[in-house]
Amino acid sequence: MKLQNLISKIRPLDEAAMESARARQADLTKPPGSLGRLEALSIQMAGITAEAEPKIEHKVVTAMAGDHGVVAEGVSAYPAEVTAQMVHNFLRGGAAINVLARHIGARVVIVDMGVAADFDPHPNLVIKKIASGTRNIARGPAMRREQALAAIEAGVSVVESEIEKGLDILATGDMGIGNTTPSAAIAAALTGRSPAEIVGRGTGVDDAGLERKVGAVQRALTVNNPDSGDGLNVLAKVGGFEIGGLVGAILAAAAHRKPVVIDGFISTAAAMLAVSLAPQTRGYLIAAHRSQELGHQIMLNWLGLEPLLDLDLRLGEGTGAVLAMSLIEASCKILSEMATFSEAGVSDKE
C-alpha cells in the first residue's frame, strides 16, 4: 500500500545532529539555557532535518477546505455556503491567513478537498475533491474507508509537490464550516474523554448550539463506534476530507524530514490521526498555539506537545501556525548566526 510505504520512511529524529546543535548551544555567548524554549526548538529542528545548523528559507502553509454534513444538526453559527465563499476570499488574498503569510514570507497553498461547490481553475487552487462534503456523522459514517485513504493520499501528493518547489517548513491550515464537530469526535474517540470535555463553541455558537453540538458528537460516537486503534477507521467514521488531507500532509512532511507546525483544533485532530497511524511522526510536530477551543489542551496533552503561543486564537486557516513559524526561524538563526565564546573572544569562565 502506498500509505504504508510512506509511513515506513518516517525515521526517528537524528541524534547526531541534535547532539551537535546541543553542543553549539552550550558554547554560544549566553548563560546556558538562557534562551529557554528557543534553544530546545533549534535542537528539535536539527533532529528533524538531520542538519546540525538547520535553515529555513521556503515556508509553506496549506489551507485545506471541505464541507461537513453534520452542519444539518445546527452545530455552526455560519451556513455551509461560507466554506466556498472563504475559499474565494483565500484566492483573492483577503483572509487572515493571506495577511499573516505575507507578513512572514510564506506561500499559501489552497486545496479543495471536499467543498460542496465547484471552482473555476485558479493558479493558487489545487483541486483534490474527494466528494462534495462528508455525510452527516450524527447519522452514519462521514465517508467510506477508501475515501479516507484517498483523502490522506491527496494530502501526501500536495506536500510532495510543494517539496519539489521548495519547502523547509510546513504549517497546517483548514477551512470548513462545521469542522470543529468532527475534530471533537476524533479527539473524543482517540482520548476516550467525553464529548462534553472536548466540544467547544467553534464559530461562536450560543448555549443551545453548544448543547446541539455536544449531542451531535455523542451520537456520532454511538452510531459509528470508531475504532481508536485504527486511525483510518476513525477518519472514515467521524472525520472530514480536509482533515484527511492534513493527515497526509503531516505524514508526507515527516517522511521527508520537514518540520510540521500544527495550528489549532482541527489541525491538532489531524495530527492525532497522523500519530495514531505513524507514532514516529510525533517528533516532527511543533504545536503553534493553544486554541480557545475547550478540548484543545486535552488533545495537546495526548500528543505530548507544549504550544509556543497562547493568544486566545480560534480562527483556524493556519493563522497560529504561521505566526509560530517566526519563532522557529528565529531559533534556527540563533543557533547558526550567534557567535560562540571562542569566536567572539569572550571568556566563558568566571
Q: In this structure, are 115 and 196 located in the same domain?
A: yes
Q: In this structure, are 137 and 30 located in the same domain?
A: no
pTM of the predicted protein model:
0.97
pLDDT in tens, 329-343: 999 999 999 999 988
What are the cell numbers at 211? 448543547
Using DSSP bridges, classify how beta strands 125-127 and 285-287 pair: parallel, antiparallel or unpaired. unpaired
Among 154, 105, 92, smallest CA distance to 126 is for: 154
Q: In this structure, are 29 and 124 located in the same domain?
A: no
Distance CA 143, CA 135 (A): 7
For residue 99, being part of any structural domain is answered with yes
Q: In this structure, are 8 and 114 located in the same domain?
A: no
DSSP state of 156: H
Distance CA 242, CA 116 (A): 12
- Cα–Cα distances (Å) from 233 to 68, 141, 206, 213, 269, in that order, read 17, 10, 31, 22, 14
Percent of the chain with pLDDT over 70: 99
Q: In this structure, are 312 and 206 located in the same domain?
A: yes
Q: Binning pLDDT at 50, 70 and 90, where does residue 350 land?
A: low
Q: In this structure, are 31 and 172 located in the same domain?
A: no
For residue 149, being part of any structural domain is answered with yes
Q: Are 60 and 70 in contact (CB under 8 A)?
A: no
Q: In this structure, are 316 and 340 located in the same domain?
A: no
For residue 79, being part of any structural domain is answered with yes
| Cα angle 47, 48, 50; round to 5 | 60
For residue 64, being part of any structural domain is answered with yes
Q: In this structure, are 20 and 113 located in the same domain?
A: no
What are the cell numbers at 99? 495577511
Total domains in the fold of the chain: 2
Phi, psi angles (nearest 5°) of residue 204: 110, 40
pLDDT above 80 (res 289): yes
For residue 350, being part of any structural domain is answered with no
Distance of CA 49 to the CA centre of its chain: 18
pLDDT above 90 (res 105): yes
Q: In this structure, are 303 and 275 located in the same domain?
A: yes
Among 127, 132, 128, 119, smallest CA distance to 71 is for: 132
pLDDT above 80 (res 319): yes
pLDDT above 80 (res 349): no
pLDDT in tens, 214-230: 999 999 999 999 999 99
Per DSSP, helices labelled H in 260-337 are 265-277, 296-303, 319-337
Q: In this structure, are 157 and 246 located in the same domain?
A: yes
Q: Residue 246 belongs to a domain with what CATH number?
A: 3.40.50.10210
Q: Is 317 a catalytic residue?
A: yes
User: Mean of the pLDDT values across residues 278-294?
Assistant: 96
Phi, psi angles (nearest 5°) of residue 285: -95, 140
User: Mean of the pLDDT values across residues 316-322?
Assistant: 96
User: Mean of the pLDDT values across residues 73-96?
Assistant: 96
Q: In this structure, are 107 and 129 located in the same domain?
A: yes
Percent of the chain with pLDDT over 90: 95
Q: Are 239 and 133 in contact (CB under 8 A)?
A: no
Instruction: Supply the mean pLDDT for the chain.
Output: 96
For residue 349, being part of any structural domain is answered with no
| Cα angle 16, 22, 25; round to 5 | 145
Residue 346: predicted pLDDT = 87
- For residue 6, the enclosing domain spans 2-54+334-344
Q: Binning pLDDT at 50, 70 and 90, where does residue 177 land?
A: very high
Task: Give the end-to-end CA distance of the chain in Å, rounded to a whole number.
Answer: 60
Residue 155: predicted pLDDT = 98
Q: Residue 32 belongs to a domain with what CATH number?
A: 1.10.1610.10
Q: Binning pLDDT at 50, 70 and 90, where does residue 53 land?
A: very high
Q: In this structure, are 47 and 165 located in the same domain?
A: no
Residue 345: predicted pLDDT = 86
Active-site hit among 15, 317, 329, 350:
317
3-state secondary structure of 114: strand
Among 334, 348, 176, smallest CA distance to 245 is for: 176
pLDDT above 90 (res 122): yes
